Structure 1
Amino acid sequence: MAIGERIHFFRNLRGMTQKYLGKCIGFSENQADVRIAQYETGKRNPKEAYLNALAETLDVAPEALNVPDIDTYVGLMHTFFTLEDVYGLKIGEIEGELCLRLDRSSKSYLSMFELFYSWNRIAEKLRREEITQDEYDEWRYHYPKLETERFRNEVLAFRKNESNN
């Protein structure tokens, strides 16, 4: 999905107009809606400073806006192929179902395992209805910020518990 589509998605999710969003990130009254429309249609791409301002205003991580081109199934497949080449992601079959898995012999296996483990842990909480869809989406759209904060809080709680014992 192109960056413009992500901006449009999050702008609508937050209930903002193009003009309001544009003004929030510093464009003039006359340029605000025009510039955001240009971003959303792909006629322009925001420079890094505007990308960061958009992410802050939309309350998401900048990485949530700047994703690979997955607008088509072919583009999505090439994204998977790149993930296979770079990170050792493999396709396979388990009990008749297609699945993606991490290749244990890959150099990036441990790092990728930690990332997937975190994702699965939060997704499992959603499946068990321990968190809401909104909380799950908040985790995804702010990743890795909330994951880092949760981990830090868990470590601090563990240390506090250890020092009390």
Structure 2
Amino acid sequence: MAIGQRIKYFRNRIGMTQKQLGEKLGFKGKTSDVRMAQYESEARVPKIDLVKEMAQIFDVDARAITVPNIDTYVGLMHTLFALEDMYGLKITNVEGEPYLCLDRSISAPGSSADEMLRAWMQQADKLKNGEISKEEYDEWRYKYPALDTYQKRVKVPSQELSDYFVQELSKKK
């Protein structure tokens, strides 16, 4: 899905009109719904700061809004090809059906990609088994990785925070 479609999807998911969202983002008067319509139709592309504000309003991770453009099957295929090149995604034949999996020689068990896919599989299994609702599953996906309890990752400080600490430590020397 392209960014405009994602914005519209998440806006509708929380029951907001284009005008309401535009006003909440600080656009005034008639420009509020016009601007949102431009973003949703992709006549304009929002800057990253605006995407982050939308993510806060939608209560999702900003990356959930800015996923690659896969609004056509050809776009989807090229996204899958890129994932093959970058992360070792492979297509394999299982009883005549195509299955996607990680190439174990590139992405060994315990790797970040393997762990992330296992976390997703765990949530999908919980949904399938009725342990969580569709809403809980969607919340996990759209806030990923914030709600991921499968992995034991360390949070890395932002570049700005890291730069600040380096600057402050340099002053003390």
Identity of aligned residues (%): 53
- Cα offset, 1:107, TM superposition: 5.3
2:169 counterpart residue number: none
1:72 counterpart residue number: 72
Letter in 1 for 2:38: Q
- Cα offset, 1:29, TM superposition: 2.4
1:114 counterpart residue number: 115
Q: Can you give the 5+ residue segments of structure 1 that lack an aligned partner in the other structure?
A: 153-165
1:6 counterpart residue number: 6
8 Å CA contact 1:88, 1:108 repeated in 2: no
TM (norm. structure 2) is 0.82
TM (norm. structure 1) is 0.86
8 Å CA contact 2:84, 2:90 repeated in 1: yes
Q: Which moved more, 1:13-22 or 1:88-97?
A: 88-97
1:16 counterpart residue number: 16
Would the alpha carbon gap of residues 108 and 50 (structure 1) be closer, same or farther in structure 2, given more than 3 Å must change? Answer: farther
Give the helix-richer structure, 1 or 2. 1
Would the alpha carbon gap of residues 101 and 149 (structure 1) be closer, same or farther in structure 2, given more than 3 Å must change? Answer: closer
Would the alpha carbon gap of residues 83 and 149 (structure 1) be closer, same or farther in structure 2, given more than 3 Å must change? Answer: closer
Deviations 1:106-160 (A, max 9, x none): 15761110010000000000011000001001101111111159858xxxxxxxx
Q: For the aligned residues, what is the CA RMSD?
A: 1.8
Task: State yes or no: 1:102 paired with 2:102.
Answer: yes
1:159 counterpart residue number: none
2:148 counterpart residue number: 147
8 Å CA contact 2:88, 2:102 repeated in 1: yes
2:60 counterpart residue number: 60
1:126 counterpart residue number: 127
Q: For 2:77 and 2:150, how far apart are their aligned partners in 1?
A: 33
Q: Can you give the 5+ residue segments of structure 2 that lack an aligned partner in the other structure?
A: 154-173
- Cα offset, 1:104, TM superposition: 1.0
8 Å CA contact 2:115, 2:151 repeated in 1: no
Q: Which runs of 4+ in 1 moved over 6 A?
A: none
8 Å CA contact 2:55, 2:62 repeated in 1: yes
